[in-house]
Amino acid sequence: MRIAEIKRKTNETDIEVKLNLDGKGNYSINTGIGFLDHMLSHLAVHGIFDLDLTCQGDLNVDPHHTVEDCALVIGEAFDTALSDRNGINRVGAEFVPMDEALAQVVVDFSGRPYSIVEIKWHNPEIGRIPTSLFQHFLESFAVKAKCNLHARILYGRDDHHQVEAVFKCLGRSLQKASRIDPRRADAIPSTKGILT
């Protein structure tokens, strides 16, 4: 079973997450920020992961620590659940539309954290979250998941549609990259023989 349970407690957030890579898209998410809950539900549904997450954060300060730390914990859960990454496809790429917006996300579970995010926002905030934090979420996730993550909006006018397209696209890309390819058996998908 490719399951991870991660707990992270700091002076800023207290988070528990359970991730099942081979789930059915079931989720139970409570971060204290409704819009973040909405985006993470897309991640689970479109990635066909089971994701349970609770977070108590210092929202009296602002949403930054909650958004960042949720990304770190979910990324760590992916890294833990993937273990040595034997047999996985490793790379996943998708395009996802949301009305007038079109997102592209490419993920490589290479063991090398790196992210490029190209999104032109039209407003400073959406759903009580500064739009700049969505890029930070993706960057933080990539660091802990130990993956390359490239995300961009090719075009779009509505920020809600843009970020929703990105999270749906991320879920689908993660699903592709993390799936086991039976042709690989237990082989590491790398000419180096290791993904770290």
What residue ranges define each of the domains in the chain, with the CATH number in brackets? Answer: 3-184 (3.30.230.40)
* Cβ(107)–Cβ(88) below 8 Å: no
Length of the chain: 196
**Res 119: pLDDT:** 98
Give Cβ neighbours of residue 103 (< 8 Å, ≥ 6 apart).
95, 96, 97, 151, 152, 153, 154, 162, 165, 166, 168, 169
Q: Which two tokens stand for residue 18?
A: 């359970």
| Whole-number percent of the chain with pLDDT over 90 | 91
| Backbone angles phi and psi of 125, in degrees to 5 | -150, 150
End-to-end CA distance of the chain: 21
* Cβ(51)–Cβ(18) below 8 Å: yes
**Nearest CA-CA partner of 160 in 117, 138, 129:** 129
**Res 138: pLDDT:** 98
- Flag residues of the chain having pLDDT under 50: none
**Res 191: pLDDT:** 73
**Res 155: pLDDT:** 98
The partner residues of 103 in beta bridges, in order of sequence, read: 96, 153
Q: Which two tokens stand for residue 91?
A: 């790379």
Distance CA 7, CA 47 (A): 22
pTM (2 decimals)?
A: 0.96
Q: Where are the alpha helices (DSSP H) in 7-131?
A: 34-47, 64-82
Hey, what amino acid is at 99?
D
**Res 187: pLDDT:** 82
**Res 5: pLDDT:** 98
